[in-house]
């Protein structure tokens, strides 16, 4: 019943209230999903192979019951105060501050999309995904650097909202992809914090 309400809300927005700019925002998010989030949406064939090995080992492991996608999420521009973006998972809505452009816009949208995918992943799969991305990022950054970032994020930084280890790992993956300073997609001052001398490995 809730799923039907979400579907009805989405199509009412898309057909009745969405502005042209918001439809374009949704289209951009769909493009980002296809390019940058195939691991979290389980569309990456290599991820499927790695998951198949896990399922063989663990008889209790269950596949994701529902599709992981933002294709029926609502995307709005808002005059936000204090925030540049928000992910309202109960209403399957992402809000982006009006006026953002370039890498700032991209970083904020990607940030909120990570939140969206996290809310759709079932607990067991979310834990598997955390370990899978950790292994991949460890190869790129090195164990010492990656553990330093995790330690800083967990113990030395103010935690605002739901920005745990899976969020951190996926944001670092995006930073690497766009050649951004580590902590850019994460935001909340992590770029500066990760590069402080006392926090470097």
Cα-to-chain-centroid distance, residue 154: 18
Closest CA to 119 of 93, 99, 142: 93
Q: Which two tokens stand for residue 12?
A: 């009412």
pLDDT at 196 over 80: no
Closest CA to 89 of 79, 77, 74, 76: 74
Per DSSP (E only), the strands in 31-136 are 74-78, 85-88, 93-97
Q: Output the DSSP codes for 145-183.
A: HHHHHHHIIIIIS---SS--HHHHHHHHHHHHHHTPPTT
Domain count, the chain: 2
pLDDT, greater one: 171 or 187: 171
Domain housing 163: 128-199
pLDDT, greater one: 12 or 57: 12
Q: Give CA separation, 89 vs 137, 148, 184, in Å.
A: 27, 30, 23
pLDDT band at 96 (very low <50, low <70, confident <90, very high): very high
pLDDT at 110: 97
Instruction: Verify that 113 and 189 share a domain, yes or no.
Output: no
pLDDT in tens, 136-186: 999 999 999 999 889 888 876 555 557 889 999 999 999 999 999 999 998
For the entire predicted model, the pTM comes to 0.87
The four Cα atoms 67, 168, 172, 103 give a dihedral, to 10 degrees, of: 80
Instruction: Verify that 57 and 26 share a domain, yes or no.
Output: yes
pLDDT at 45: 64
User: 137-165: buried (b, 16+ CB within 10 Å) or exposed (e) per residue?
Assistant: beeebeeebbebbbebbeeebeeeeebee
Mean pLDDT for 52-77 is 71
pLDDT at 61 over 50: no
pLDDT averaged over the chain?
86
| Residue at a domain's end among 121, 149, 171 | 121
Instruction: Verify that 41 and 112 share a domain, yes or no.
Output: yes
Mean pLDDT for 31-45 is 89
pLDDT, greater one: 37 or 47: 37
pLDDT in tens, 108-130: 999 999 999 999 998 888 888 99
| Residue at a domain's end among 121, 136, 157 | 121
Instruction: Verify that 41 and 98 share a domain, yes or no.
Output: yes
Number of neighbours of residue 175 by Cβ within 10 angstroms: 22
pLDDT at 66: 72
pLDDT at 47: 64
**Distance in angstroms (rounded) separating the CA atoms of residues 169 and 50:** 18
Closest CA to 87 of 126, 29, 44: 29
Q: Give CA separation, 134 vs 25, 104, 127, in Å.
A: 30, 25, 11
Q: How large a percentage of the chain has pLDDT more than 70?
A: 80
pLDDT at 200 over 60: no
**Distance in angstroms (rounded) separating the CA atoms of residues 53 and 46:** 11
pLDDT at 194: 74
pLDDT at 85 over 70: yes
Instruction: Verify that 111 and 133 share a domain, yes or no.
Output: no
């Amino acid at each position: 019943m809730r799923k039907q309400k979400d579907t009805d809300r989405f199509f009412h927005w898309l057909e009745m209230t969405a502005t042209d700019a918001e439809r374009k925002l949704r289209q951009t998010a769909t493009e980002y999903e296809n390019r940058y989030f195939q691991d979290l949406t389980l569309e990456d064939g290599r991820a499927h192979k790695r998951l198949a090995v896990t399922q063989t080992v663990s008889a209790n492991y269950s596949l994701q019951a529902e599709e992981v996608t933002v294709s029926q999420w609502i995307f709005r521009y808002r005059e936000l105060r204090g925030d540049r973006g928000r992910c309202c998972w109960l209403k399957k809505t992402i809000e982006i501050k009006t006026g953002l452009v370039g890498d700032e816009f991209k970083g904020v949208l990607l940030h909120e999309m990570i939140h969206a995918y996290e809310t759709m992943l079932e607990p067991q799969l979310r834990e598997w995904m955390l370990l899978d991305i950790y292994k991949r990022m460890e190869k790129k950054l090195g164990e010492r650097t990656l553990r330093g970032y995790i330690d800083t994020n967990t113990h030395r930084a103010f935690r605002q909202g739901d920005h745990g280890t899976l969020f951190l790992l996926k944001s670092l993956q995006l930073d690497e992809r766009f050649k951004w300073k580590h902590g850019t997609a994460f935001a909340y001052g992590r770029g500066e914090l990760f590069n402080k001398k006392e926090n470097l490995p």
